[in-house]
Amino acid sequence: MPFRDIAEASLGPKARVYEHGWQSWSPTGAYPASATSPRPSDARVNAVHYRGRDLPGEGFQAEGLFAVDPGDGGAVRVWSAPDPTRDVPSIRACARQGTLVVSADGAVNESSYDGGLWTALATWADDFAHQVGVGPLRSQPPFWCSWYQYFTEVREEDILENLAVADSLGLDIQVLQIDDGWEAEIGDWLERSPRFPRPLAEIAKRIRATGRRAGIWTAPLLVGGRSQLAREHPDWLVRGADAGRNWDESLLALDVTHPDAADHLEHVFRTLTEWGFDFFKIDFMYSGALDGGRHNDADGIAAYRQALGIIRNAIGPNAALLGCGAPILPSVGLVDAMRVSPDTGPKYEPEAGDVAVASQRSAVLTGRARAFQQGRFWINDPDCLIVRPNVERREDWADHVERFGALRSSSDRLRDLDAWGLETTRRLLQPASIEPFDLSGLDDA
C-alpha cells in the first residue's frame, strides 16, 4: 500500500517525536520534531539492522509505533498498528513550516495520553500487552555469555575456563550461555566448529554438574549461503528474501511454512534440549519475518510467529527464550526476554557514527527509548555487562545496565576482571526484575 497522509500536528518549539524501530538493533528514540532520525550507513546495515525498506531523506520513519509530544504539557498523540502481531505499517513524519505531516502505508490507529511521552508509551504498551494476552512474566537467571570477549573465535576451553572461574569467585552466574562460534555453519545447527572438539551434550553436562544451566545461541531462521542446508534444501528457503550479509557470506531465510523445514526446526530445538540446554538466545530473528515467496501464502509476520510457536513447542514451557535481532512488536507474548538495543561493545562510539551498529552509545540510545517495554512485554535485555579494564567508559555502561537492564549477564573473561570490575559484576548479577522501570528521569542526559 502506498503512503497516505493520516494526520497533522502543529509544532511548538519543544515538540518531540518518538520513532520506534523495527527490530532489536533498529535505532529507536525521541528527537526534536524538526530533526531527521539516524539513517543506515549503507544498504547492508539497512537490511541487517533496520527493515531494509526505502527511507525518506528527511524526517522520520517508524515501524508500527510513532508518537508526538507537543512538549507544552498537552496530550501526547500516538499512532500505532491496530494489531502489530499481524501487520506493522511504516509510519512517516516530516516537519513543514511548523506542521508535522504524518503518513502511513497501512492501517494505523491514533490514541492520545496525558502525562508526558514515556507515560504515554507505557500506557499504550499496557493496552497492547493486554490485547495480546501477555502471560505472567517469569524472572530469568543471571548468566554469562561468551560473545563480547571471544566473539566468533570462542573455544570449548574458554567456556570451561570461565565455568571454573565463576565457581572459584563465587559469582551468581546461574547459566553459562555459549554464543556464536560453536556451530559449523549458520543453518547447520547440529554440527560443531572444530574449536569444539567434544559433543555439546558433554559441555552442557559439565555446566550442569556445577549446578548451573546451559545456554546456547542460534540464529534458527537464518541460513548462510555456505551451509549444507542451503545446498541440500533450496526449497526450504524464502524466495527472494535477502537477509543481508555477515560472516563473509550472503544470508537467506528459512521458510517454516514448508512442512519439512518446520519439522527440521522442531528437530533442531528438540535435539538441543536433549543435549541439556534450556536457555536459548535466538538471534537474527528478523530473517523469519522478511517478505518473500513461501510454501503457503503466509506473510512474513505470520510465518515468524509460527516459527516461534514451533520453537516453544520443542523446548517446552519452562525453558528460557531470549529474542535478539527480532521484530519487536510481532514478538510480544512469545519470548521471555528481548534484546531491546543494538549490541554494546568495548568502544563507546559506533563505527561511521552509525548508531545501529555495535557500540555503547548505540545500545544506550535505543535501550533507554525501549525502557517502557520492561515488565509489560517481557524482560528487557540491555545486552551484557562488560567491565574489564580496556572497555571504554565502563562505569557509564555499568550504570546503564543497572538502571535499564532487567536481564543481567556478564561477558568478560572473568579471570581478567580487576577489583572494580569484579565488584561491579558481583553487584549487578541478579535475577531479572519483572517489574516495569521507573521512567522518570529518562529525559535527563
Q: Give me the active site residues, please.
A: 283, 343
Q: Mask: binding to ligand 9PG, 8-27, rule CB under 6 A, as x and -?
A: -----------------x--
Amino acid at 299: D
- Among residues 22, 182, 217, 277, the one that binds ligand 9PG under rule CB under 6 A: 217
Q: Could you give the angle at which helices 394-404 and 360-369 cross, rounded to 10 degrees?
A: 20
| For ligand 9PG, the closer CB: 88 or 285 | 285
- Among residues 246, 250, 271, 273, the one that binds ligand 9PG under rule CB under 6 A: 246
Q: Is 180 in the site for ligand 9PG (CB under 6 A)?
A: yes
Binding residues for ligand 9PG, rule CB under 6 A, total 11
Return the beta strands (E) in 70-174 as ranges: 76-80, 90-96, 99-104, 109-113, 143-145
Buried residues in 150-174 as b, exposed as e (16+ CB within 10 A): beeebbbebbeebbebbeeeebbbb
DSSP state of 26: S
Name the residue with cell 518473500: 292
The Cα 44–Cα 242 span in angstroms is 10
Q: Is 228 in the site for ligand 9PG (CB under 6 A)?
A: no
The Cα 39–Cα 48 span in angstroms is 13
Name the residue with cell 502489530: 84
Amino acid at 44: R
| For ligand 9PG, the closer CB: 63 or 179 | 179
Q: Which helix (H) or strand (E) holds 313?
A: helix 300-315
The Cα 16–Cα 32 span in angstroms is 4
Short-list 1, 131, 140, 11, CA closest to 68: 11
Please list the residues that pair with 76 across neighbouring strands: 113
Q: What are φ and ψ of residue 419, in 5° steps? A: -60, -45
- Among residues 147, 182, 304, 397, the one that binds ligand 9PG under rule CB under 6 A: 147
Query: Smallest distance, Å, CB 233 to ligand 9PG?
Result: 23
Q: Which helix (H) or strand (E) holds 395?
A: helix 394-404
Q: Is 111 in the site for ligand 9PG (CB under 6 A)?
A: no
Query: Smallest distance, Å, CB 215 to ligand 9PG?
Result: 11
Query: Smallest distance, Å, CB 87 to ligand 9PG?
Result: 26
The Cα 436–Cα 136 span in angstroms is 13
Query: Smallest distance, Å, CB 228 to ligand 9PG?
Result: 19
Q: Is 48 in the site for ligand 9PG (CB under 6 A)?
A: yes
| For ligand 9PG, the closer CB: 179 or 412 | 179
Q: Mask: binding to ligand 9PG, 300-339, rule CB under 6 A, as x and -?
A: ------------------------xx--------------
Residues counted in the chain: 445
Query: Smallest distance, Å, CB 35 to ligand 9PG?
Result: 25
Amino acid at 27: P
Short-list 256, 304, 315, CA closest to 281: 315
Q: Is 412 in the site for ligand 9PG (CB under 6 A)?
A: no
Q: Is 254 in the site for ligand 9PG (CB under 6 A)?
A: no
Q: Is 118 in the site for ligand 9PG (CB under 6 A)?
A: no
Query: Smallest distance, Å, CB 387 to ligand 9PG?
Result: 17
Q: Is 189 in the site for ligand 9PG (CB under 6 A)?
A: no
CA-to-CA separations, 205 to 22, 168, 200, 222, in angstroms, rounded: 37, 19, 8, 27
The Cα 53–Cα 328 span in angstroms is 16
Query: Smallest distance, Å, CB 185 to ligand 9PG?
Result: 13
| For ligand 9PG, the closer CB: 41 or 139 | 41
| For ligand 9PG, the closer CB: 143 or 147 | 147
Q: Is 285 in the site for ligand 9PG (CB under 6 A)?
A: no
| For ligand 9PG, the closer CB: 38 or 325 | 325
The Cα 138–Cα 432 span in angstroms is 9
| For ligand 9PG, the closer CB: 179 or 278 | 179
Q: Is 363 left (phi over 0), alpha (psi -120 to 50) or beta?
A: alpha
Q: Which of residues 332-391 bind ligand 9PG (CB under 6 A)?
A: 343
SS3 of residue 201 by DSSP: helix
Query: Smallest distance, Å, CB 325 to ligand 9PG?
Result: 6
Residues in the site for ligand 9PG, rule: CB under 6 A? 25, 48, 147, 179-180, 217, 246, 283, 324-325, 343
